Every structure is written in structure tokens, then in C-alpha cells.
Structure 1
Amino acid sequence: MTPPDSGTVPRRGWSIAVVLTGVFVSSLDLFIVNIAFPDLARSFPTATLSDLSWVLSVYAITFAALLAPAGRWADQSGRKRAFLAGLALFTLASALCAAAPSLGWLVAARALQAVGGGLMLPSSLGLLLPLFPLERRGAAVGLWSAMGGAAAALGPPVGGLLVDAGWQWVFLVNLPVGVAGVLVGAWALREVREESRTSPDVLGALVLAVTVGALVAAIVQGETWGWTDVRVLGLGAAGLVGIALSAVRAVRHPAPVIEPAILRIRAVALANVATMLFFAGFGAMALGAVLFLTQIWQHSVLRAGLEMAPGPLMAAVCAIPGGLLATRYGNRLVGCAGSLLFAGGGLLWATATGADPAYAADFLPAGIIAGIGSGLALPCLSGAATLPLPPERFATGTAMVSMCRQIGLALGAAVVAALIGTRPDLAAFHASWYFMAACGLAGGVAMLGVRDTGPRLVPVAGAVAR
């Protein structure tokens, strides 16, 4: 496959806009749903925090399991086709979420929404990168990451406004954007596909979903059931067996969910590990912050959304400069610096916040520091995990790093639910912030192992990457 030259692609500006819109709405949904948690708890009063956490976790687990096979399918069957199908399904599932009469319905609709996101996201970067010349692809990754940061910045305040009219509106907001994106994308996007065809590992994807689900369930229910309860131990054992089976599938299947040939590239493997660690901390931050502000400081959902916004806004502002800095100084140094700043924000929250509200002195500075760190780290994580790959593996590489991101988010939310679910006191939130800091630190250490060697020949699954 030869990617189209960026200067000859028709309707290039519209193509970039549609792809970035898809990335934006899928990221916006995560942060809007976080801010809706207090309202969901009132709508479903018999549900515990552990039950409600599945509204987030089922999305992340389903998303993670589908990303790699969906990325493979997008590479082979066409990235435009996969992107538009995913965006259409995501939009339809958003309507089903809004219509949910019960928590079980909502969780099921969220799983369907994740199927749409799983089709859409891996093909997004694969569609975006060929629209830019090689020397500007670092900036393209920064722009792609900035959409996630912008969604994170807008999610809390927009979610706070929408929740005032009912939590259903956090899903209904996706409908006009999704419909417009499908219509414009069908006209503007150009199809890009790989020549070879190998069926993706559907069974491997199911095994991965069950594995992550079992591990998340063990973490979520451990505090409630008891860590030595036979159910928790059984879930943990199922997770370990699933990890072993996933490793076997990766070696034996011609198109596995986790592709060993890609992970043999040192920068790609370490970037994926760093991504999982970083986003475990990010998931803890996203859920823990809204619960802290609404439960410990007793702020309204709207006020909490506005108070959370400056950190994600800094992430959006810093993402494009982060991509440019990575192009000049390397993903290793910039990504490590960003991860350490993120960890510093978590550590400051853990040591500075108290039971008495002191937003400007205690909460805001740490949020801004964590936001700057996120803005620097995100394009480096994505860039290190995808740019060493050949063009025909862009969607597959994006799927793998996105899969690690979603697994990390699910684990982070599960840890917060376990820490706060049974005793939502100040000490539990401080433990969440320490967990956030530890994940950021570990992600930064992993990024230090990335070696930025510049363009080189890398064998990947029978292809040659430059």
C-alpha cells in the first residue's frame, strides 16, 4: 500500500476535520460520563459505586478488546469504511444510552458504544497521518492527541451543564455531531487499505475481553467481597489464565490481537507499557477528581466540572507543542518529563488537599501541573508507539496503543472504585492520588527506555518500515 501524498488528497481540510471530530467525540464521551456519576447514582439509587463503575469499565474493556482486530480489519478492508461504520454505530449507541431505563441497559448500550469507538479510533490516525508529509507527522500526532486533551477540557464543564438537564443529555450531545461526521466523511475521506488480507483473531479478542473483565471485576469487588473470598480469587485466576491464553494466541495466530512482530520493536513495546501505566493513573484521576469535589467538598456537579476544566485545558494547549518538542528532542525525554509532571500533580493532591475546600491553593495548582504533564506525554506515547511502524501498520499500531490506554483506564477506575467504594473518606482519596502518582512515575521510567534513533529499516510482519 502506498499512502496518498498529502498535497494531492482531495478535500484534505475536510478529511482532517472529520477524523479529528471522530476522535473528539469518542474522547469527550469519557469525560462527560465521569462528571455524570453523581447524577447516575441518584437515578439508580440501589446501585453501589462498584456497580456504577461498570458504566466506565465495560466501555474500556470492550473498547480494548476490539481495537487490535478492528485496526487489522481497517488496514485490510479500508480505513474509511471502518471509521464511518464506527462513527455511525457510536452515534446509534449514544441514543440507546440516553434511552436506558435501567443500569443494566445503560451498561449494555455502553458496550455497544465501545464497539463503535473500537472501529473508529484505530483507523483515525491511520487516515490522518498520510494527509501530512513525513517531516510533519510528529505534529500530526500532537494534533491527534490534542483532540483528546480538548475533549478532556470541555468534558467536565459541558457535562456539568448537560447534567443539569438530565444525565441522558451527556449521550444525546453526540447525535448531531455523529450524523454530520458520517455525512461529511462519506464525501470527503479517501479510502486507504492494505494489499494483503488475513482474518483478525476474533477468539483472541474475546479471550482478551474476558481476561481484562475478570481482573477489573476482582479489583472492583475485592474490598466488598474480601480479597481472600473465593470469588475474587477465582476472578484473579481466570485473569491469569486469560493472560497465558492471550500469549499463546499471539504466537500462533497469523493476525493476533497482540502482534509480537510489532512489539519486537523496542520503542513500540515500551511505549505501549508506558501508555498502560500512565492511563491507569489518568483513569484514577478522572474518576477520583469528580467524586472528591462532589463528595468530600460537596460541590455541585456543574461547579465540579468547571473546577476540573483547567487541567485538561492545559493538556490540550500543551499537546501540539509536546508533539513538536518530541520531533526535536525525542519522545523519550519529552514523554518522561510529561509523565513525571503528571505524577507530581498526583503527589501534590495527595499531600495538599484536605476536608475543607481550598480550591485555588490546594486543588488548582496540582490540576494544572498534571494537565501540562499530560499534554507533553500523550503525543510522545502515541508517537513512540506508531511512528516506527510502516504505513500499512498505522491503524494496527494505533489500535495497540489505544488498547493499552483503555486497559489502563479500566484498571485505574477499578482501583478508585475499590478504594472509595466502601469508605469514601479523605484518606481513600489520598490513596487514589498516590496511586495516580505511582502510575505516572512508572510510565516515565518506561519511557526512558525508548530509544529515538530516527528513520530506519524495521521488519514488521513481513513488511519493511522506514
Structure 2
Amino acid sequence: MVHKHHAPRDPHYKWVALSNTTLGMLAASINGSILLISLPAIFRGIGLKPLEPSNVNILLWSIMGYMVATSVLVVTFGRLGDSLGRARIYNLGFLIFTVCAVALSLIPGSGPFAAWYLIAVRVVQGVGGAMLMANSTAILTDAFPKDQRGLALGINTVAAIGGSFIGLLIGGLLADINWQLVFWINVPFGVIGTAWAYWKLKDRTAPKHRPVDWIGNFTFGIGLILILIGITEGIQPYGAHAMAWTSPEVLGLLIVGLALILVFLFVEQRVAFPMFDLKLFRIRPFSLGNLASLGASIGRGGLQFMLIIWLQGIWLPLHGYSFEETPLWAGIFMLPLTLGFLVATPVSGYLSDHHGARPFAVGGMLLGAASFAALMTLPPDFSYPLFALLLFVNGLGSGLFVAPNSTAIMNSVPAAERGQAAGMRATTLNAGQVLSIGIFFSLMIVGLTEQLPAAMEAALVQQSVPEAIAHHAASAPAVASLFAAFLGYNPMGELLSPDVLASLPAANAAEITGKTFFPHLMAGPFMHGLVFAFTFSMTLNLLAAAASWGAGGKFVHAEAEPSKEAVPAAE
């Protein structure tokens, strides 16, 4: 039976679908990363000091609230798209996203209340973002013939992942003018996109109405939430420990979360209409494609964080930039990464339509791994042309990988299951971002804890700070220095009280609070931690390359023999 909301078979509809979903993905992904650069300006605007111990939780949830919401809900909304109509869920997501953009632009008050208001609204906005991300890929796969999907998904993926890089630049530019513009930028995107979506987007395939799997949704959603909260809490100080991974609270969150995920896997195999059909993982291009996507996403997220810390906390201040202007310039100096990605993604998507995913997905991850190995050899105060070249190569590697990987995943599943398949793919992308925060911050904190306290104490004593005061300042949790570098702050004015600074010779006080003292302190310990972080990223890229090789070449589920559709293989 033809669904009443089906769009007519207009040959131009596929371009309408591509342009609108690309706009939606661009808005959602920019929104996910724009705060990484603009948080210092936002915190100054609402009168909150992000480096105070009581505000660390606010700082982390400001960054992660949107990501956690999208990570948890994309599979659910993908399945709802299959059941109720992909365009219907997508359009509702655009509406929620836009309403929240307006609400964020009108943040009331200041201090902790304003910060928690921001976090709460961004979590709700993440619900809208999850609806967009879960269904845009499925809408495109429905709209385009199989020999054009790689190009279409390549363009859409440029928006989905390229937007996360572009958000860094836009955040720096707008925060430098007025912090509230960081939120207003999404309003015109949202208003135009929502009106256009409700006017033009219709479902091209009949939804399969299924009962809601409440147990599956509950166990998966709550389990993943607890795990992601545990990761967020784990990188915060705990008693005398640099991190809280051994605290009863964090261990409890992770254990209960993992237990609920195991219950979810058990339930999904026994209900008539599961939230996610685990049989899809029997399809080799789907399962290995998602594994590769997760590895690439974690590595890509870690690269973003490390580059921001490297540029804002070390390289830019050493080259004369004030700490207040480093967020803007960090976005500008990271442009080669975005450029490489934008160049490679649509080209690899188009070519993979004709030659299969394997050579591009595998080649991209090998190129990415080589760039991580090369970045580890650079000194803290690197030569920018070489640094820019390595960022461009890394962007090329990511760009070569993502579109073929997305196309292989979406082509491998039956048409009726594309919503949940797109949701699982979006989960690997978003959960990878959240996991990267926990993994890479932990690796950096380990590196800083080993070397930074002794280096800081010796440097402060050399600047005439009394030994007891220098020891106390150097004993501050390494996470404070890490967040200072990440946000473009000079923490020395907070680690030493105004009275202590006033008691020092003027030249020493000026040196301690100047542009180069903190970056020189951070350089050695940071590079020590960077080796751990980028070695891990390189390993993830190599694993993603191996998974992409195992996923096979060119396979489209609709072309399989009926008897082989349940467990197809790709050659």
C-alpha cells in the first residue's frame, strides 16, 4: 500500500533531499563543536570562572551535553523513522533544534544558573540533532539510485563531519565579536531549514509500523547515558588522585551501564519488534563498516582536542598571541585540516560508487595513521608550514574514508532497515566523539601528572616564589592546567593569589603572568602525553583500515540473491 505522504517520483526531488539534509547536518555538526572554541567567551559573558574546581563539572557538561544526547538517541530515532516515517522524524528534529537555538540565544541571568540553563537546553537541542542525524542518511539513500549514493552521502558527510571543523572557526570568529552570536548563528539555519523541510521533504518508502520496544529503548538509553556520565566524571579529580576512574561512583556508573547494555543485547534477540535488529550485524559490510567508523571517530575527536590544546595553550602564545585571542586563531590555523577533508570527501564518494569502498576507506585510514606518526615527531614550537601540510594530509585521509564507509554501511542493509542502520552509524560517530574526550583527556592527564608538577615548582622557585607556595601551586590537579590550555586561559594568575604576585619583584610577576611562562611549562609534559595520545590514534586508524579491508568492496543489498540476503558477504 502506498503511504499517503510519499513524494511523487520527481526526478529533482533527490537534489531537494540532498540540499535540505546537508543544511540540517551542517547546522547539527557545527552546533556540536562550536562551543569547544567559544567557551572562554561564553563563560566570561555569564560571569563564571571555568577553572574553579566547583565549575569543572559545568565545563565538561557544557561541552558534552549535546554529544551525549545525540549519542544516546540516534538509534531510537532511526528506528522511529523506519516505523513512523523518516521525513516526519527528521522534520520534527529540525523544529526542536531551531526552538532550542532561539532559547540558547536568550540565556537568562548569569553565573551557575545561566550555565546549567545552557547545558539543559543543549541537551534538549541534542534530541533534535539526533533526529536529524538518525534520518538524514536514510532519506538520502531512499532518494538516490545506488550508483549516485556515494556522491550524495559524500556531500552530506562533508556537512556532518566538516561542520565539526568549521564550527571551531565560526566559534572563534563569533566569540571574538559577541559570545551570544555563537547561539544566534543557528537560528537562520534552523528557521529556513525547518520551513523548507516541512514544505518539501516527504517519505519515499512506506513506513513499517511496529510496536515500540520500550525495554530495549530503556536499557540501551539508560545504559549508554550511565557509561557516558561515568566517562565524564572519570576525568575529574578524585581526592588525592588526578582522575576519578577508581572512585566508587564512577565504577558504579560504568558497571551498571555495561550491565544494562548486556541486558539490551539479551532482550533484542527475544522481542518480536526490537529497537535495533541485531541480525544486521551478520552483514559483514555493516558490522565492520561501523567498527571502522567508531575507530576513525575516536581518533578524529582526539585529534581535535589535542590540536586545540597545542595551539591555544602552547604554540600561539609562544608566537606572541594573547591568551584571549588564541581561540580565534586556533580555528584559523586548523583550516588545512578542514580543507583536506573538504577536498577528498565528495571525490572519494563519487569514485566509490564505481570502484567500491575498499581502496578509499583503507587508503584514507593508512594516510591518517601516517600523519599521526609524523605529527608525533614535531617539536612543541613547530614550523607552521610543515604542521599545516600534516594537517592537510590527515584531513585528506579522513575525507577519503568517511563517504565510502557511509555508503558501504547504508548500501548493505535492506531498504526497510535504513533508518536504524543510519542511527547506528550516527551512534558510532557521536559516541566516538564522547569516548575520545574520556580517552584522550585521560592520556594527557597521565602525561601531565608525571612531569608538570615538578617542572612548575622548579620554574616558580626560579622566579622567586617561596618554596611552600610554589609546591602548593604545583600540586593543583593537572586537569586544571589541561583545561586552561584547552580554553586558552593563562592559569598562573589563579594558581598564585594576587597577594603572592604583588610580593614578587615586578619583573618576576610579569614573567609568570606573561605569554610564554605557562606555554614553556606545558610544552614538555604535553608532548610526553601527546605521544601516548597520537600513538593511540594511529593504532585506531590502522584498526579502522583493517576493518575496512574486511568489509569488502562493492556490495548493494538489493542486488543480493533472495536466499543470500540475510547474511550477505562483500567481495
Could you state the TM-score of these two structures normalised by the residue count of structure 1? 0.90
Q: Select 1:380's aligned residue among 404, 407, 422.
A: 404
1:456 alignment partner in structure 2: 560
* Residue in structure 2 matched with residue 271 of structure 1 by the alignment: 289
Aligned to 1:292: 310
Q: Tell whether 2:331 aligns with 1:332.
A: no
Q: What is the CA–CA distance in structure 2 between the aligned matches of 1:15 and 1:227, rounded to whole Å?
A: 45
Deviation of 1:149 after TM superposition, in Å, equals 4.3
8 Å CA contact 1:122–1:398 kept in 2: the answer is yes
Q: Does 1:247 align with 2:265?
A: yes
| Alpha-carbon offset, residue 89 of structure 1 | 0.4
Other-structure match for 1:437: 538
Match of 1:204 in 2: 216
Task: Decide whether aligned partners of structure 1 residues 349 and 5 sit closer, same or farther in structure 2, where only a CA change above 3 A counts.
Answer: same
Moved more, 1-10 or 420-429: 1-10
1:313 aligned to 2:313?
Answer: no
Any idea what SS the aligned residue of 1:237 has? helix
Aligned to 1:184: 196
Amino acid at match of 2:354: R
Cα deviation, 1:48-99, whole Å, max 9, x if unaligned, reads: 5564232333222221221112111112212221111101101112233333
Using a 3 Å threshold, how does the CA distance of structure 1 residues 281 and 6 change in structure 2: closer, same or farther? farther
Which residue number corresponds to residue 389 of structure 1? 413
The residue that corresponds to 2:385 in the other structure is 360
Deviates more, 1:203-212 or 1:236-245: 203-212
Candidates 8, 11, 17, aligned match of 2:10: 8
Identity of aligned residues (%): 25
Q: Which range moves more in the overlay, 225-234 or 179-188?
A: 225-234
Letter matched to residue 89 of structure 2: A
- The residue that corresponds to 2:21 in the other structure is 19
Instruction: Write the distance in 1 (CA, Å) between the matches of 2:311 and 2:215.
Output: 42
- Residues 7 and 310 (structure 1), Cα distance of their counterparts in 2 relative to 1, 3 Å cut: farther
1:16–1:128 CA contact under 8 A, matched in 2: yes
2:185 pairs, out of 170, 173, 186, with 173
1:433 aligned counterpart, secondary structure: helix
Instruction: Report the Cα distance in structure 2 between the residues aligned to 1:130 and 1:283, rounded to whole angstroms.
Output: 29
SS across alignment from 1:94: helix
The more displaced of 79-88 and 254-263 is 254-263
Q: Distance in 2 between matches of 1:410 and 1:458?
A: 39
Deviation for aligned residue 1:357: 5.0
- Give the residue type in structure 1 aligned to 2:277: E
Shift of 1:423: 5.3
Tell me the amino acid that sits aligned with residue 429 of structure 2: R
Relative distance call for 1:422 and 1:310 in structure 2 (3 A) is same
- Is residue 389–residue 460 contact of structure 1 (8 Å, CA) maintained in 2? no
| 8 Å contact from structure 1 (residues 6, 131) kept in 2 | no
Structure 2 match to 1:35: 37
Is the 8 Å Cα contact of residues 66 and 123 (structure 2) preserved in structure 1?
Answer: yes
SS, match of residue 352 in structure 1: coil
Secondary structure (helix, strand or coil) at the match of 1:318 reads helix
Which deviations, in whole Å up to 9, do the C-alpha atoms of 1:176-197 show, x marking residues without a partner?
Answer: 1110111122222223353431
Alpha carbons of 1:105 and 1:16: their partners in 2 closer, same or farther (altered >3 Å)? same
The structure-2 alpha-carbon separation of the partners of 1:461 and 1:261, relative to structure 1 and needing over 3 Å to count, comes to: farther
Aligned partner of 1:191: which letter?
Answer: D
User: What residue number does 1:323 align with?
Assistant: 349
Aligned to 1:154: 166
- Counterpart of 1:83? 90
- Which amino acid letter does the alignment assign opposite residue 105 of structure 2? A
Deviation (angstroms), 1:465: 13
SS in 1 for 2:286: helix
Deviations 1:383-417 (A, max 9, x none): 12111122222222111110111111110022233
Give yes or no for contact 2:141–2:410 (8 Å, CA) kept in 1: no
Once residues 268 and 64 of structure 1 are traced to their aligned partners in structure 2, the CA distance between those partners, rounded to angstroms, is 18
Give the structure 2 partner of residue 94 of structure 1: 101
Contact between 2:14 and 2:144, CA under 8 Å: does it hold in 1?
no
Which one of 33, 43, 48 corresponds to residue 44 of structure 1?
Answer: 48
Residue in 1 that maps onto 2:298? 280
- Summarize deviations over 1:246-282 as a string: whole Å, max 9, x none: 2123212334343212111111011111111111111
| RMSD (Å), alpha carbons | 2.9
After TM superposition, the structure 1 stretch with the greater mean CA deviation from structure 2, 321-330 or 300-309, is 321-330
Summarize deviations over 1:280-312 as a string: whole Å, max 9, x none. 111112222222211122351111110112212
Asked whether the 8 Å contact 1:9–1:131 carries over to 2, the reply is no
Distance 1:115 1:255, change over 3 A: farther
Give the 3-state SS of the residue equivalent to 2:148 in structure 1. helix
Amino acid of the residue matched to residue 425 of structure 2?
A: V
- Number of residues of Structure 1 aligned to a counterpart in Structure 2: 464
Cross-structure match for 2:66: 59
Return the offset for 1:314: 1.4
Higher relative contact order, structure no. (Cα contacts within 8 Å, ≥ 6 residues apart): 1
The 3-state SS of whatever aligns with 1:135 is: coil
Partner SS state of residue 134, structure 1: coil
Q: Distance in 2 between matches of 1:293 and 1:178?
A: 32
Report whether the alignment pairs 1:412 with 2:418. Answer: no
- The alpha-carbon distance between structure 1 residues 156 and 140, as it changes in their structure 2 partners (threshold 3 A), is same
Q: TM-score, normalised by structure 2?
A: 0.75
Structure 2 gap segments, 5+ residues each:
239-243, 446-478, 483-521
- 141, 151, 156: which one pairs with 1:129? 141
CA deviation string 1:438-464 (max 9, x = no partner): 222222222121023533147899999
Distance change >3 Å, CA 447–CA 176, structure 1 → 2: same
**CA offsets per residue over residues 104-130 of structure 1, 9 Å max, x none?**
222211211110011112221222223
Cα 1:66–1:149 change in 2 (3 A) is closer
Change (3 A) 1:33 1:423: closer
More displaced, 309-318 or 203-212?
A: 203-212
8 A Cα contact 1:457 1:465, kept in partner: no
Q: Which runs of 5+ in 1 are unaligned?
A: none
Whether contact under 8 Å (1:459, 1:465) holds in the other structure is no
**1:281·1:440 contact (CA, 8 Å) conserved in 2?**
yes
Q: Cα 1:195–1:441, aligned 2, differ >3 Å: closer, same or farther?
A: same
Distance 1:412 1:368, change over 3 A: same
Distance in 2 separating the partners of 1:342 and 1:184 = 37
Equivalent pair of 1:261/1:461 in contact (CA under 8 Å) = no
| Letter paired with 1:343 | A
Q: Would the alpha carbon gap of residues 131 and 56 (structure 1) be closer, same or farther in structure 2, given more than 3 Å must change?
A: same
Does the CA-based 8 Å contact 1:221-1:232 persist in structure 2?
yes
| Alpha-carbon spacing, 1:429–1:105, altered in 2? closer, same or farther (3 Å) | farther
In the alignment, residue 448 of structure 1 is paired with which amino acid?
W
